[in-house]
Chain A
Amino acid sequence: MYKIGLIVNPIAGMGGRVGLKGTDGETILQKAKNLGAIALSPKRTSAALEILLAIKNNLKMITCPSDMGENEAVNCGFVPEIISGIRTEETTFKDTQKAACIMRDHSVDLLLFAGGDGTARDIYTSIGKTLPVIGIPTGVKIHSSVFASSPHKAGKLALLYLQKKLHKLKEVEVMDIDEQAFRNGIVKTMLFGYLKVPYERRYIQGGKLGSSPSDEIIQKAIAEDIIENMNNDFLYIIGPGTTTRAIMQRLHLNYTLLGVDAVYKKELIGLDLNESELLKLINKKKKVKLIITPIGGQGYIFGRGNQQLSPQVIWNVKRENIIIVATHNKIISLKRYSLLVDTGDLSLDRALGGYAQIVTNYHERTVYKVEF
């Protein structure tokens, strides 16, 4: 018997149709409703669930009451088990977070959730990487790779995973933008963490199609290149991200995925360092290299998700000692836009602008533009 959890964010997507660029926050939700917004989640969730009807008799579905999953499941013909402790009206992100924790405690094989980037954040905040998840894209903002490229594909992916036709899990970025800033015309995308999703190239948003090896293989090749060129006289500061993590894994060192770590003579000497700790280390070791990777889809190398790498840290490291690592998939995800810097120090941003050589594979560099 397969066991699946289902959480639907019933208000996801409502802000989009009425031009509000998102539905985070009660005031915005009310505004969306006043503008005549209709709920998109039910229909899109049903499109995914219909695929799972193929295994209905072997599927135990656990979901939230009312329009957070029960309605969609029942309408599709499932007889779900409804969890308790979740409100049935005027639900908020807290209900999503609570429901995710309950699903985890029920040991579901897979958590299917419908929503947008805000919902993905809530799932990440509550359960992290403890469960494999698949996002059904119903929200306004879909920057996170956790979402399937369509509701239909979310259902297909879930089916393949539950039937054990698909075994591979991939950590993907949970991204969200600052909605308030976005409404003022400023796109500020932030990396919040990583979720584990069943991975099949053709189903995941931004997932690479075609016939090349996946990023995981290329990340290992990049790590090999970096380690081959490591000089024991230098301190290596390792920025956040899965591409840089591959270096730490290759060195068999502990690491923080979202933090900044330090390596000297191929040994870990600092974990999850803040700005002042970094400055102390830099002053002590003098010779320093900084290894960073851009955030997929938007290209920031400084100023998003790695604020520990402050202008002072970067000035001290010096531009020629910055090593950028990224797979071609990540570069392509920028849709031909440049790498970006936004350190808060305009003169530094200017100094970092121009062209950089990105390590994109073993013994391979891609020359790419950096803008501010």
Chain B
Amino acid sequence: MKYNPKIHEQLVNSDKIAEMHPYQDESTSQGLLEIMYKTEQLFKEISGLDRFSLHPGGGAHGIYTISSIIWAYHKSRGEEDKRNEIITTAFSHPADAAAPRVKGYKIRIIYPDENGYPDIEALKEAVSEHTSALFITNPEDTGIFNSKIAKFTKIVHDVGGFCAYDQANANGLLGITRAKEANFDLIFYNLHKTFSSPHGCGGPGAGIVGVTEKLAKFLPVPVVDYNKKNDNYFLDYNRPDSIGKVKDFYGVIPVILRAYAWIMSLGAEGLREVSNVAILNNNYAMKKILELRGASMAFPEHKCRIEQVRYSWQKLTEETGITTEDIQRRVFDFGTHYWTSHEPWLIPEPFTIEPSESYSKDDIDEFVAILGQIVKEAYESPEKVKNAPHKSSVHRISYDVLDAPSKWAITWRAYRKKYKGYFQHK
């Protein structure tokens, strides 16, 4: 979680925003429409792409929207059945595979090579006339920046596919590198990860989507446009090739407003400074963490990382029996956060630390000291770690339910289908 300026909360809670109604006439909402329009202009500059939709309510939603846009493009050429494969990588976010699969795509996954980059030879093997697009993060969760990314996009473009940049987390890239220069056709940003909205606890978030001119006509409706002649902003629904609506109304306004305020308060130089500090913080934390007994990182030959690092407690686990999940539960006792890894766990006993730009040297030292204390306990009094958390009302949660699809009810509709009352099976 980054620091999110409190003044932004005051902005979104002000009557001028909180009292607005989505059905009120455009003529009475010019101020907000202007903010939305200008937010889009800012992201066009940040990414280098040509148009944005602010609608998606989160990362997976953004990826699903991207999937729909690409599908609509191929459909417009009568190729939607032929172009039915999406390629992604094992270190990209799992939603890069999951969301297009919901759209109906078949998925091709690329594992990393021995150097920690996505295996480019595997990509060459994966592309074909069926390739619809590549969905990829860069840097991946290892924090290793793939400097050959332009080669990846070329391989996909050469077979007629698109390239979508998962920049859910842009903390290490602002003002340094852009999607356009790596020849990406689409992008999404999670405003709640980089642009001043609290991240976590299920939202609210926004996974805004950007595209090149070629794909702009497929964006969801409405988009906000400016009529120079009348000097007014308006919601444009007259877009016959649009994929339609992906969300009620126009996007998650409080999140968009916070992002606008954050970007405007920092300016172009400020954004670059954010990333420089995020990278510096990450590499400082990395050096300290690697001094801890039993800690290592994936692909250690890459000495510098961007905004995060995927570490491993494998050695500590072998020596003490304490796992990364045990450590995660113990970290909660210290009132802070710790994250293991996306699935699948390619790195044994993984943990991923991303300090972002918000934390001071003292903050990072304190966090590493907490890890150091837990490492000490792991070697000297492992039961203390094993039995953690000691200060939480919920102790441990069993994952076994994940093996019982008949019990899964992640939507209200599924719940009604499977349960007759308060978790009483039908």
In the complex, B405 has a CB within 8 A of chain A: yes
In the complex, B101 has a CB within 8 A of chain A: yes
In the complex, B125 has a CB within 8 A of chain A: yes
The verdict on A360 contacting B109 (CB below 8 Å), with A210-B341, A217-B403 known, is: yes
Closest beta carbon of chain A to B77's beta carbon, Å:
23
Best-surrounded residue of A149, A210, A332, A368 (most CB of chain B within 10 A): A210
How many chain B residues sit at the interface, stated as a range, is 20 to 34
In the complex, A331 has a CB within 8 A of chain B: yes
The verdict on A367 contacting B125 (CB below 8 Å), with A210-B345, A357-B108 known, is: yes
In the complex, B112 has a CB within 8 A of chain A: yes
The verdict on A202 contacting B101 (CB below 8 Å), with A331-B111, A364-B106, A367-B110 known, is: no
Whether the pair B325, A209 counts as a contact (CB closer than 8 A) is yes
In the complex, A256 has a CB within 8 A of chain B: no
Kindly state the separation between the CA atoms of A168 and B403 in the bound complex, as whole angstroms: 10
A361: which B residues are within 8 A, CB to CB?
107
How many A-B contacts at CB < 8 Å in the complex? 92
The interface bits of chain A over 303-336 (1 if a CB of B lies within 8 angstroms of the residue's CB, else 0) are 0000000000000000000000000110110001
Kindly state the separation between the CA atoms of A57 and B212 in the bound complex, as whole angstroms: 72
In the complex, A60 has a CB within 8 A of chain B: no
The verdict on A367 contacting B122 (CB below 8 Å), with A214-B403, A216-B403 known, is: yes
In the complex, A152 has a CB within 8 A of chain B: yes
A213: which B residues are within 8 A, CB to CB?
402-403, 405
A365: which B residues are within 8 A, CB to CB?
106-109, 126
B110: which A residues are within 8 A, CB to CB?
366-367
Q: From residue 300 to 338 of chain B, which have CB atoms closer than 8 A to chain A?
A: 321, 323-325
The chain B residue sitting closest to A368, CB to CB, is: B111
Identify B109's interface contact among A150, A208, A364, CB under 8 A.
A364
The chain A residue sitting closest to B401, CB to CB, is: A213
In the complex, A201 has a CB within 8 A of chain B: yes
Closest beta carbon of chain A to B4's beta carbon, Å:
27
The verdict on A211 contacting B122 (CB below 8 Å), with A336-B114, A365-B106 known, is: no
A328: which B residues are within 8 A, CB to CB?
90, 343-344
Whether the pair A212, B402 counts as a contact (CB closer than 8 A) is yes
Whether the pair A336, B122 counts as a contact (CB closer than 8 A) is no
In the complex, B400 has a CB within 8 A of chain A: yes
Closest beta carbon of chain A to B394's beta carbon, Å:
15
Identify B399's interface contact among A211, A329, A366, A368, CB under 8 A.
A211
The chain A residue sitting closest to B403, CB to CB, is: A214
The interface bits of chain B over 384-424 (1 if a CB of A lies within 8 angstroms of the residue's CB, else 0) are 00000000000000011011010000000000000000000
Kindly state the separation between the CA atoms of A354 and B125 in the bound complex, as whole angstroms: 9
Kindly state the separation between the CA atoms of A197 and B106 in the bound complex, as whole angstroms: 35
B105: which A residues are within 8 A, CB to CB?
363
Kindly state the separation between the CA atoms of A96 and B403 in the bound complex, as whole angstroms: 35
A143: which B residues are within 8 A, CB to CB?
none
In the complex, B346 has a CB within 8 A of chain A: yes
Kindly state the separation between the CA atoms of A355 and B110 in the bound complex, as whole angstroms: 11
Identify A364's interface contact among B107, B119, B125, B323, CB under 8 A.
B107
A245: which B residues are within 8 A, CB to CB?
none
Whether the pair B106, A150 counts as a contact (CB closer than 8 A) is no
In the complex, A369 has a CB within 8 A of chain B: yes
A217: which B residues are within 8 A, CB to CB?
402-403, 405
In the complex, A153 has a CB within 8 A of chain B: yes
Best-surrounded residue of B101, B345, B349 (most CB of chain A within 10 A): B345
Closest 5 CB pairs of A and B: A355-B125, A367-B122, A328-B344, A212-B343, A366-B109
Chain A residues with CB under 8 Å of chain B are: 149-150, 152-153, 168, 201-202, 208-214, 216-217, 328-329, 331-332, 336, 354-355, 357, 360-361, 363-369
Contacts A/B (CB < 8 Å), 15 sampled: A202-B325, A209-B345, A211-B399, A212-B343, A212-B344, A329-B344, A332-B346, A354-B125, A355-B125, A357-B126, A360-B109, A364-B97, A364-B101, A365-B109, A368-B111
